[in-house]
Amino acid sequence: MELLIGGLAIGAVYALLAIGIVLVFRATGVVNFAQGEVMMVAAYAYVLAAARTGSAVLQMAAAVGTGIAAALLCYAVAHLLLPRASRLAQVIGTIGVLILLQAGARFLFTDDPVPADPWLFGDENLLVGGATVAVNSLLILGITVLATAALVWWQNATVYGRAVRAVAEDPWRAALSGIHVSSTLATSWAVGGALAGIAGLLVSPVTGVYPTMGDSVIFPAFISAVLGGFSSIEGALVGGLLLGLIQTYAVVLFGGSFKEAVMFGVLLAVLLWRPTGLFAARGARQV
């Protein structure tokens, strides 16, 4: 039970990042390599906010706001600075942002991990069915599912969400129907940044906050997105949770040194047998 919840909680963090990556990729065709750094910056913002204020709302606002700001920086580089560049150049642009954010964090805060307190509940445990479960893990899981549900609702039910989807499908025709394309694209990046911000807030008490924390989550986040077919939000959520479970049980079975190898195996297996993701839906994008 502890393993199950723990694995799902790790997976939820991967899922939050993966959803942001998928949102941006679907809308713009750019794979954001700086998504892990967006999370890292938000985690620092949370730690700084937690040191100054006890208000959970303000702490959350600091993390999410910083995540959005960092994601908009990526947007600015990929679309405003490199408007007519090739996709490859835009992706390398996000790698440039990655270097800058990492170097900035290293300069301001040094390489030493900063410990963080769990948001909202502190280090409490709960007895569920005879097993002790960290409240923080349940919190991560709950918030992730809620955020994804809200996002799916927003995409399907509101005008703004539908505009985002329309632009993703065909920017030219979306523009013809009166949608402001560039601000809609920025919205996609910003929503991805907000999710990365939540991920930073939730993961910092588990791992501590350090400049290269993005490096260790970006690859699992990519795999989660691949598991979900790189085009669907629900797919990325399920993919992330699944990967979290696989990783946790792999560590238990084979030991920690094979964690990455198992993940890589999962990636190759999916790429070979189900390139459209595990849950290929109708109209899945040809990859």
Partner 1 sequence: MRTIPSRHPVAAAVAAGLVLVALASFVPPYRLFIVGQLSVVVMVTVGLAVLMGGAGLLSLASAAFMAVGGYGAIMLMIQWSLPWFVAVPVVVAAGAVLGGLLGFVTLRLSGFYLAIATLGFLQVLLALLKHGGQLTGGGYGLVAPLLATPGLPDVPAEWLSLLTLFCAVLTVAAAVTVTRSRIGRAWIAIRDNEAAARMQGIDVRRMKVLAFAFTSGLTSLAGALHAFLLNGTNPSTYTMNLSIFHITLVVVGGMSGSIFGAVAAPLVLFFLPEMFTALGEWRDFFYGAILLLTLVLMPSGLSSLLRYLPGQGAART
Query: Which residues in 156-193 are b (16+ Cβ under 10 Å) and which e?
Result: eeeeebebbebbbeebeebeeeebeeeebbbbbbbbbb
How many whole angstroms separate alpha carbon 269 and alpha carbon 287?
Answer: 16
Question: To which residue do tokens 């939820």 refer?
Answer: 12
* Residue among 100, 120, 280, 284 that touches partner 1 (CB under 8 A): 100
* Residue among 48, 69, 72, 104 that touches partner 1 (CB under 8 A): 104
Segment near partner 1 (CB under 8 A); pick from 39-47, 130-138, 162-170, 252-260 = 252-260
Structure tokens at 64: 């999410």
By CB under 8 A, residue 188 contacts partner 1: no
Give the x/- contact pattern for partner 1 in 197-216, rule: CB under 8 A. Answer: ------------------x-
- Interface with partner 1 in residues 147-186 (CB under 8 A): none
Segment near partner 1 (CB under 8 A); pick from 49-57, 147-155, 199-207, 261-269 = 261-269
* Residue among 82, 139, 166, 181 that touches partner 1 (CB under 8 A): 82
> Which DSSP letter does residue 54 get?
-
How many whole angstroms separate alpha carbon 66 and alpha carbon 197?
Answer: 7
Identify the three-state secondary structure at position 177. coil
* Residue among 62, 198, 226, 236 that touches partner 1 (CB under 8 A): 226
Asked whether 162 and 155 are in contact (CB, 8 A), the reply is yes
| 2 or 215: CB nearest partner 1 | 215
By CB under 8 A, residue 44 contacts partner 1: no
Cα four-point dihedral sign 235, 236, 238, 239: positive
How many whole angstroms separate alpha carbon 51 and alpha carbon 272?
Answer: 48
By CB under 8 A, residue 27 contacts partner 1: no
By CB under 8 A, residue 111 contacts partner 1: no
Structure tokens at 267: 């990636």
Residues of the shown chain interacting with partner 1 in the complex, contacts defined by CB under 8 A: 31, 33, 77, 81-82, 85, 87-89, 91-93, 95-100, 102-104, 106-107, 215, 218-219, 222-223, 226, 256-261, 263-264, 267-268, 271-272, 275, 287
